[in-house]
Amino acid sequence: MSILQAIRTFLFYLLLGTSSLLWCSLSFFIAPFLPFKARYRFINVYWCRCALWLSKVFLDIRYEVKGAENVPDQPCVILSNHQSTWETFFLSAYFEPLSQVLKRELLYVPFFGWAMAMLRPIAIDRDNPKAALKHVAKKGDELLKDNVWVLIFPEGTRVPFGTVGKFSRGGTALAVNAQLPVLPIAHNAGKFWPKTGWFKKPGTITVVIGAPMYAEGTGPRAIAELNDRAAAWNEQTQRDMGSLPPQPAAADKEAV
């Protein structure tokens, strides 16, 4: 990282942290008196847009969205790959109101956690996977019925750019049980905003929104099939944008 880039990155994090503290503090006193949709916009949308603006101005990280016409009118389950913090900012600002799964401990962080608690997050105990899965199903269904988007990162955690994690079935199970589609999203944010470290690379992040995917039937088989379809779409879309190496041809596979 050059000295200039290091300075710009330092300023970015300084302003991001300062804006977070100030905005969460302000939200703590104003947001409780707002209806949920207005509260979400006040707390999350405005600050996430600020984070995206800061990343554009100081880090020269821009973005382009393909497939915006695929977004359905009714909120549903969003399935996105997870490579960095950037997509959390973007998706939280692009879809509103939106709820996502997070560690329960985050809600205890002064001001930041208190503000997050007002956004109806799906807070789970990661040390108890079975209970966490049940809570995601129950809370997620309530949110969908209230016309709130539910964001699921089926890989479970951030994965390095150029790799794909295994898709868990929690998101598709939630969609099938609610009789709603999943909205697949693929991006290459990790190319410019890596999973670890402070280094950021200038460039344009590509976000691809696919057509809503519906289950063919109900029950465990339909959930598994929809999950496999969503995972295959995400992997192929990442290949198409150059995030993953091309799949070897059938003849090459046989030779191996």
Domain ranges within the chain, ordered by starting residue? 61-245
By DSSP bridging, strand 182-187 and strand 203-209 are: antiparallel
Across residues 182-204, what is the average pLDDT? 93
- Confidence bin at 246 (pLDDT 50/70/90): confident
* Residue-wise pLDDT tens digits, 141-181: 999 999 999 999 999 889 999 999 999 999 999 999 999 99
Residue bearing tokens 């503090």: 25
- Confidence bin at 254 (pLDDT 50/70/90): low
120-124, 210-214, 248-252: which has the highest mean pLDDT? 210-214
Q: Three-class SS of residue 243?
A: coil
Residue 151: which of 122, 113, 191 has the closest Cα?
Answer: 122
Q: Which helix (H) or strand (E) holds 3?
A: helix 3-30
**CATH architecture for segment(s) 61-245:** 3-Layer(aba) Sandwich (3.40)
Q: In what order do the strands lie in the sheet with 98-103?
A: 61-66, 203-209, 182-187, 77-80, 149-152, 98-103, 122-124
The CA distances from residue 144 to 104, 120, 138, 148, in Å, are 20, 12, 10, 5
Across residues 4-13, what is the average pLDDT? 91
Which two structure tokens, joined as six digits, stand for 152?
A: 């699921």
Which two structure tokens, joined as six digits, stand for 49?
A: 């847009």
* Residue-wise pLDDT tens digits, 70-81: 999 999 999 999
Q: Does position 255 have pLDDT exceeding 60, yes or no?
A: no
Which two structure tokens, joined as six digits, stand for 55?
A: 């990343």
* Residue-wise pLDDT tens digits, 35-71: 999 999 999 999 999 999 999 999 999 999 999 999 9
Residue 122 in contact with residue 61, Cβ under 8 Å? no
* pTM given for the model: 0.91
Q: Does position 249 have pLDDT exceeding 80, yes or no?
A: no
- Confidence bin at 1 (pLDDT 50/70/90): low
Which two structure tokens, joined as six digits, stand for 203?
A: 């460039």
Mean pLDDT, the chain, whole residue set: 91
- The distance from CA 93 to its chain's CA centroid, rounded to whole angstroms, is 10
- Confidence bin at 256 (pLDDT 50/70/90): very low
* Residue-wise pLDDT tens digits, 120-145: 999 888 778 788 888 888 999 999 99
Non-local (6+) Cβ contacts of 192 within 8 A are 61, 86, 200, 201, 202, 203, 205
Residue 79 in contact with residue 230, Cβ under 8 Å? yes
Report d(CA 129, CA 103) in Å as an integer: 12
